[in-house]
């Protein structure tokens, strides 16, 4: 069984969606570890209720970013993690860390990359007046919201939309798409060729 580590800093809605599918036997993998850099994050309680081990690590306890990441990497090695799943982890990983886990880190972003990068993608698309946004799952590389795209789903922004309504629709789509991509990854059906990702769904 493939072991995954979920990295999160906040409420953990995507963590909960993944954990639910694991519990229901829909994913042929296990959440071995939650890595959280925020000791007050709500995701910690969600992980404990799901029976997932929690690794809370405070960036402020380390003089250098590389020491912080080395401590995380050591824990991932100890737990034999196969795939890192970023789910609202609010830190940019270094190039060194990304290279150490090449093509084994994925992220979900609430926009159709390369549009609306960054931590306020839904609000940015809404404020811009875009007619279409969506959800992207991608491999993580050395640049923010830049790695090879695995899957995207488009979501229209309606004329009478509110920001809250749009956020809700995007989160619903995230909670379906992310587990599906993890399921395909666990079955060996996601392959990377340069910046092109090939998915076999059969």
Length of the chain counted residue by residue = 202
Q: Could you tell me the strand order of the sheet in which 83-86 lies?
A: 53-56, 29-36, 2-8, 83-86, 105-109, 132-139, 149-156
CA distances 163 to 117, 139, 158, 186, Å, are 17, 27, 10, 34
175 is known as an active-site residue:
no
Helix (H) or strand (E) holding 182: helix 163-186
Do residues 195 and 186 lie in contact, with contact meaning Cβ atoms separated by under 8 Å? no
Which residue in the list 109, 138, 146, 171 is annotated as catalytic? 109
Q: What is the largest CA-CA distance in the chain?
A: 50
Residues labelled as active-site residues: 109
């Amino acid at each position: 069984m493939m072991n995954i580590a979920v990295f999160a800093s906040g409420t953990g809605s995507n963590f909960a969606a993944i954990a639910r599918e694991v519990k229901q036997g829909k994913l042929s993998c296990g959440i071995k570890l939650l890595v959280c850099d925020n000791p007050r994050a709500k995701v910690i309680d969600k992980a404990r209720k799901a029976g997932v081990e929690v690794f809370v690590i405070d960036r402020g306890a380390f003089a250098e970013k590389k020491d912080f990441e080395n401590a995380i990497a050591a824990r991932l090695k100890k737990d034999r993690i196969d795939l890192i799943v970023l789910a609202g982890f609010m830190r940019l990983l270094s190039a060194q860390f990304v290279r150490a886990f090449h093509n084994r880190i994925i992220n979900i972003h609430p926009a159709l990359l390369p549009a609306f990068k960054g931590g306020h993608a839904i609000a940015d698309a809404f404020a811009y007046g875009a007619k279409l946004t969506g959800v992207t799952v991608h491999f993580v590389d050395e640049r923010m919201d830049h790695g090879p795209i695995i899957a995207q789903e488009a979501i229209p922004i309606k004329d009478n939309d509110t920001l809250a309504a749009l956020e809700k629709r995007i989160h619903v789509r995230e909670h379906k798409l992310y587990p599906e991509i993890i399921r395909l990854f666990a079955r060996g059906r996601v392959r990377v060729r340069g910046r092109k990702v090939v998915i076999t769904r059969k």
